């Protein structure tokens, strides 16, 4: 029989106490709780309970070779997750935790093998969202949580997105409104000789470089030293809407818009993801434009909701211009490239 998902709206402080108490108890009993973080909604379970962690993979239809992130609320919990963290780990954590930075470190023996997909390393972060922190504290254990979407759907940035994908598959949903950053955390691996960013996200590379000067940007789809098996999270096809996504890249505005307009003319039902400034270039055409705002922070915050919204319109194709790879623009570029499954049109 399908489960019922209990939804708690956390609009006012009075509603918090009961909701967090129920959610914390659900985690301790091995259940699943979807909760807001500052990046995207997470699908949480007790990180120290193998059966509970298995429930996450089942609910999401996530392949077992894609490891999860363990979420902690204070520095003491780090020792339950990781061992032998190098000094640089504490330096970046001091600077960026709580916040949208995930560290890959040597795994502690207490962590069940399914959480890390059998790897010797583990991903860990301390989120800054007050609901996430309250939940982890109430549960009293670290919480394993991937994004609370079905595998290969855009990540959820609102409680409605979680319901759309996982209604009845999760015990409790804490509705904390829209997530402020909108793209997932930056993943920094500290298990090799040189720190490597495996996924750009909510902390910019520029910000990280100030603390980690010898940083390498090495997302798995760009790695030249990739092992035979795909690296965790390295599937290019990851955030894939139903319609084909085409990403246009070029320095000259007029040339890029001309190429995009020529492509639009080849299809019947077209969606366009455009910044406020870009939208004018398509205003005279019969296309559905989803606006991504005025800057890279707004684009990050709106991106997944825009992809989900276009996804419901039964489009033939979705076009977007590749953003500048600076600040949060790099994370937006990465998510668009994955959504396009590598379909980059150079103009
Ligand atoms: O912002 C976020 O990070 C959100 C919120 C909920 O915290 N979580 C999130 O989780 O994006 P998920 O599962 O969608 O992405 C986690 C990524 C995966 O691509 C996984 O492959 C990578 O982290 N990962 C986990 N453990 C790893 C490890 N030991 N080595 C390398 N990559 C790892
Ligand atoms: Mg995800």
Tens of pLDDT, residue by residue over 127-170, are 999 999 999 999 999 999 999 999 878 999 999 999 999 999 99
Which of 232, 328, 334 has the most ligand 1 atoms within 8 A of CB, as the residue to mutate? Answer: 232
Residue pair 152/61 in contact by the 8 Å Cβ criterion: no
Q: What is the pLDDT of residue 220?
A: 72
Report helix, strand or coil for 328.
coil
Residue 121's closest CA among 74, 75, 68, 72? 68
Residue pair 110/48 in contact by the 8 Å Cβ criterion: yes
Q: What is the pTM of this model?
A: 0.95
The alpha carbon dihedral of 56, 62, 63, 67 has a sign of negative
Report helix, strand or coil for 199.
strand
pLDDT higher than 60, residue 235: no
Question: In this structure, which ligand is nearest to the CA of 146?
Answer: 1
Q: Is 240 in the pocket of ligand 1 (CB under 6 A)?
A: no
pLDDT higher than 60, residue 34: yes
Tens of pLDDT, residue by residue over 193-213, are 999 999 999 999 999 999 999
Residue 313 has a CB neighbour count (10 Å cut-off) of 14
CA distance 266 to 261: 9
Q: Is 88 in the pocket of ligand 1 (CB under 6 A)?
A: no
Q: Is 179 in the pocket of ligand 1 (CB under 6 A)?
A: no
The vertex-311 CA angle with 67 and 58, nearest 5°, equals 30
CA distance 250 to 344: 10
């Amino acid at each position: 029989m399908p489960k019922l998902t209990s939804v708690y709206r956390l609009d006012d402080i009075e509603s918090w106490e009961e909701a967090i108490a129920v959610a914390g108890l659900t985690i301790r009993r091995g259940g699943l709780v979807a909760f807001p973080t500052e990046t995207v909604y997470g699908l949480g379970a007790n990180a120290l309970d193998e059966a509970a962690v298995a429930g996450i993979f089942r609910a999401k239809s996530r392949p077992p070779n894609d490891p999860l992130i363990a979420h902690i609320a204070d520095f003491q919990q780090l020792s339950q997750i990781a061992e032998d963290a190098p000094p640089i780990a504490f330096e970046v954590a001091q600077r960026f935790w709580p916040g949208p930075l995930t560290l890959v470190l040597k795994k502690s023996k207490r962590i069940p093998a399914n959480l890390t997909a059998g790897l010797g390393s583990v991903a860990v972060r301390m989120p800054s969202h007050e609901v996430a922190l309250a939940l982890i504290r109430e549960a009293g254990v670290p919480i394993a949580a991937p994004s609370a979407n079905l595998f290969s759907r855009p990540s959820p940035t609102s409680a409605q997105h979680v319901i759309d994908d996982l209604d009845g598959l999760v015990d409790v949903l804490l509705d904390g409104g829209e997530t402020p950053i909108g793209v997932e955390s930056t993943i920094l691996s500290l298990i090799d000789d040189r720190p490597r960013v495996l996924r750009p996200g909510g902390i910019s590379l520029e910000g990280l470089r100030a603390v980690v000067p010898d940083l390498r940007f090495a997302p798995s789809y760009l790695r030249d030293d990739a092992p035979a098996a795909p690296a965790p999270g390295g599937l290019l096809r990851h955030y894939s809407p139903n319609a084909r996504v085409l990403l246009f890249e070029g320095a000259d505005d007029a040339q890029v818009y001309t190429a995009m307009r020529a492509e639009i003319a080849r299809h019947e039902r077209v969606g366009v993801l455009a910044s406020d400034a870009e939208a004018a270039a398509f205003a005279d055409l019969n296309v559905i434009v989803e606006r991504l705002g005025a800057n890279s922070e707004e684009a990050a915050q709106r991106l997944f909701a825009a992809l989900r919204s276009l996804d419901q319109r039964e489009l033939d194709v979705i076009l977007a211009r590749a953003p500048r790879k600076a600040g949060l623009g790099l994370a937006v570029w990465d998510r668009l490239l994955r959504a396009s499954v590598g379909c980059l049109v150079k103009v």
